[in-house]
Amino acid sequence: NEPGYGQASEDIASPKRTKELMQKYGFVLKKSLGQNFLIDQNVLHNIVSAAELDETKGALEIGPGIGALTQQLAKRAGKVVAVEIDQRLLPMLEETLAPYPQAEVVHGDVLKVDLQALFKDKFQDVSKVSVVANLPYYVTTPILMKLLEERLPLENIVVMIQKEVAERMAAKPGGKEYGSLSIAVQYYCEPEVVAIVPQTVFIPQPNVDSAVIKLKVREKPAVEVEDEAFFFDVMQASFVQRRKTIYNNLAAKYFDKESKPDLERLLLDAGIAPSRRGETLSIEEYAKLSHRLADYLKTARTAK
Ligand code: SAM
């Protein structure tokens, strides 16, 4: 298991080296932390190239593990900050990242870390920052929603996630994968599934299929909405019962028996047939619908 083409002698990503390092430190993988380490140099290369890094840019990695991806990020980016929750990995990271002074490890739970402060503190000297990670699958959505909702100044988010979740994020209206996750992600980003990845590139192998997704963060959200929270409420309400029509879902949340006919008119005025299902509406239609519904509810409340 000598290093292959393009692999440096200190690169940790091979089955043999990963196992040796774990043995040396007596490290036992924790399933509950989503610890599936990458052992394939080509997959690492694909992830890193999708992020479009160079020495003027920074990378935030979530969950460096033993540093296989971190090493490759450090070869490209000017600065790498890797947030790792598992203290037992810190001495191992110290060893694997020793040749890369531009890589820094922060011990903590990414869901609790103050990322705004971290950005100000660590990324002052780079022009743009991307998130690049092989995410712990048990917290994929909370992590991504935190990154997006906090409006961090990000260029790209390139992450390994469960294939099924990647497909939902990138789904277009009309299919069964399309739902509130697709709309929430597409509101902030342009998604692209970069690669479908076999289970064999991980130690241990996860029991689900994986994919690398690239989310190009938009400078402005995909649609303009007056009240973002209400837009997300309306959209989520429309998917509460997927098999029901948009009319039935919205009626249940916002209307009573007397006011229900107003909903039918409101939908028709917005150019949306009341018999459609939530999964057929585009993000633009949700924006239009939430404007009209907000106006209607304001007027109805004032009239009461
Ligand atoms: N980047 C490494 C690789 O590709 O080989 C490891 C990826 S592994 C799928 C996920 C990593 O995230 C693990 O190292 C795990 O300890 C870490 N992790 C899990 N939950 C975390 C959290 N809430 N905050 C930070 N790191 C976390």
Closest residue by CA, ligand 1 atom 23 = 109
Q: Out of 11, 40, 84, give the residue to mutate to test ligand 1, the one with the largest number of ligand atoms within 8 Å of its CB.
A: 84
Closest residue by CA, ligand 1 atom 3 = 37
CA–centroid distance, residue 34 to ligand 1 (Å) = 6
Q: What is the pLDDT of residue 10?
A: 81
Give CA angle at 54 (222, 37), nearest 5°.
Answer: 85
Under 8 Å between Cβ of 118 and 106: yes
Q: What is the pLDDT of residue 6?
A: 57
Ligand 1 lining (C-beta closer than 6 Å)? 33-38, 62-65, 68-69, 83-86, 109-111, 134, 136, 139
Closest residue by CA, ligand 1 atom 1 = 64
Could you tell me which residues are annotated as the binding site for S-adenosyl-L-methionine?
Answer: 36, 38, 63, 84, 109, 134
Q: What is the mean pLDDT of each run of 10 residues along the chain (304 residues)?
A: 59 92 97 96 97 98 98 98 98 97 98 97 96 97 96 97 98 95 97 97 96 97 96 96 95 94 95 97 98 93 68
The residue written with tokens 């890193």 in the block is 48
- Angle at which helix 260-269 crosses helix 246-254, to 10 degrees, equals 130
* Integer CA distances (angstroms), 168 to 24, 25, 52, 226, in order: 40, 38, 24, 26
ipTM for this prediction:
0.99
Q: What is the pLDDT of residue 1?
A: 40
DSSP 245: B
Q: What is the pLDDT of residue 2?
A: 46
